Amino acid sequence: MGRPRSFEVEEALEAALGVFWRKGFEGTSYADLVAATGVERPALYSAFGNKEALFLKALDRYASHYGNYVWEAVALETALAVATRVLEGAIELNTRFADRAGCFGINGALAGSDDSEASRQALIKWRADGEAVLRDRFERAKTEGDLAANADSAVLAAYILTIAHGLAVQAKAGFSREKLTAIARLALSAWPQA
């Protein structure tokens, strides 16, 4: 009971995510959030909590709606196919929206004041989770034979995501999808022989 919400929570969260994606945690003001969501401040607070809580919910949405390409890629059949798909997914996402180039997981909070520390750590953890999933997948590939037994899964996972992060920085600087793709192709040529 009580008065019903006059806005869609998921729509507002999506709009807020867009702003954080573009401007980062610290670069985003409530004026920005109100403009993007069409929702007044007190309603944002009542629906999401404070700015940090809203950012963390935006991260959840990003993880499930946009940044899930790593978790999807590990379903592919070979380690190289997984690695390739991860970079393809990163490039596609980093260039999908012209107004929010790059990766929310990096743009959101790379460096900042102490106020942004919790957000920064949350993004670091999310990226580390992706790296762990990738490492486990590569480890499995070694037992299945499509990755050399002497390969270092942890380094390979870190390598692929380091490329992805570098591509995200370049995408934020305005690099075209074509240029990013050429870089990724070169990066994948370092993949160890099975």
Partner DNA sequence: ATCATTATGTAACGTCCATTACGTATCTGG
Partner DNA sequence: CCAGATACGTAATGGACGTTACATAATGAT
Shortest distance, position 33 Cβ to DNA, whole Å: 8
Query: Which range, of 40-48, 97-105, 116-124, 146-154, touches DNA by CB under 7 A?
Result: 40-48
Segment contacting DNA by CB under 7 A, of 44-52, 124-132, 160-168, 173-181: 44-52
Tell me: does residue 31 bind DNA (CB under 7 A).
yes
| Cβ neighbours for 79, distance < 8 A, ≥ 6 positions apart | 137, 138, 141, 146, 147, 156, 191
**Which residue from 10, 11, 40, 77 is in contact with DNA, where contact means CB under 7 A?**
40
Residue holding tokens 């075209």? 176
Residue 9, both tokens: 């929570």
- Verify binding: residue 6, DNA, rule CB under 7 A: yes
**Considering CB distances under 5 to 8 angstroms, the limit depending on partner class, which of its own copies, DNA, none binds residue 39?**
DNA
Angle between helix 153-172 and helix 79-94 axes, rounded to 10 deg: 20
CA dist., res. 120 & res. 122, Å (int)? 5
- Least separation in angstroms between CB 29 and DNA: 3
